[in-house]
Structure 1
């Protein structure tokens, strides 16, 4: 039953005829709309402060600019990034913006194709690590007991494994032939710190009153995690994914640079590997190895700056007014 406005609950003074006249009842909005208002208000406030935060806006512009460059620029070329199309070892010019390699390949076209694979491996690797880490963290933190001990032991095992050494062995016997397979290896070894952090947050939230009320109402454990605990950690989970995205980009660039990445797909790390392999530094071909290095630095740096800005947005104590 909808509530009545305060004025409707008050009795009016008797009229001249002796009869009491009541004010008409005015219903007040209640139910799902009213319940949804706090969440919508928090979203609007977060968006408002995010658009006013210079770190979030600046980092977002840099990331979106690189993403647009990687998606749009290759569409204007009628040749591939590995084709020999120009003079050998030519410096930047109006025709070849980033110059050419020692074989006459267009460095700019290799660069924009490398941005594509960089974002793809960051999205897939970071997404997989987030999915594994958050799932294990939520289950371990909410269920507790033997399940928590088993998952915590698994987390510690993966945490102490030398990821680079294991990847070298896997690459020797299995091989990394594509960006998805590289992202799979990165995601498998990048989730332990996420699981620990989410587990600690879940421990503190599972004893709150709203979780107890959901449990008393008969809601299952999975539904409580999805509907009650996870939404209260949404800002933290989003910032965690940004960190995983940047970490996956760096991890992939390291693997590509040392020759453990896929060779059939151009990436920024593979560009630096080829430049070192063909003595670009000794030959003075700075336009070959400098753009991919600066590209990786700019993308990862912008992601981390965005993360700092989002921390200021979601934390009122750090918020820039």
Structure 2
């Protein structure tokens, strides 16, 4: 291999509030050797996601938290550079949980990665966004759980984010009215003018409740919930009255409004989020909602059948998306990928400092 050092970020302490560089240890270690049934993957692209912040905490969550001293978990795309596995061939492009490091081990069990097909119609970084787990969360979450019908009003919170921006576009493709909630005039303008949403609600504006009412004059049929708190409560008040408190997602009756929770990264916002009262039903149904995503890693059963997943990716390859990329260094060709308006501010603030330190 060209480089004989594996640069890694290990979780040193659990952050309280915003992430700081002191929460990580930067180490250089030898590149791992693959054992039987394993392959060494060189990380080409690493995605920064709000869920990184949740993984750093020891709160109850949809995946085990990252342990102190462990390599920080993270999704990425890489290339196989050495293999002792029939599943992976040298030169294969793969995606999965690579971690914050230059090289990782892929196997055929708990550390298995998806081998990407040849001739992708999109760039590799897109496999970490619209055609990756965030896109699949949007696709299967909306179409399999939301089941929108033409003419339905689909409300999407965090609509300028990686998941929400795809949800709104899919809703439009399905003939629905897409209403997005975003923060600030620029984001609201973006989801309407660039992504094709029918209306936007600026939750930072003093009159956001009035905006919500004006944008949903006939009520809300499907709520793709990404936030929680008082915004969710206001949305629930706009949903068709007879269905407002039906949280039994698996027992919906025809005609009922549908709502579900893709993920909520709000705990990293601190006490401001926790002051908002969540309905008791939401708390009781938290575990049932997790499979959609807080966690992008928890795929739906159909996602494992292959064909629906490929169809989803073909359709999503034409979706509009934005990504911020920070190019790599030292000739390694690695890069940091932040799908636009997705990563929490503290992650975006700290990681460039860490990356400069290790010359990535």
User: Which TM-score band applies after superposition, normalised by the shorter structure?
Assistant: under 0.3
Counting strand residues as a fraction of each chain, which structure ranks higher?
Answer: 2
Q: TM-score, normalised by structure 2?
A: 0.24
Indicate the structure whose relative CO is greater, using CA pairs within 8 Å and at least 6 residues apart: 1
Larger Rg: 1
Q: TM-score, normalised by structure 1?
A: 0.26
Counting helix residues as a fraction of each chain, which structure ranks higher?
Answer: 1
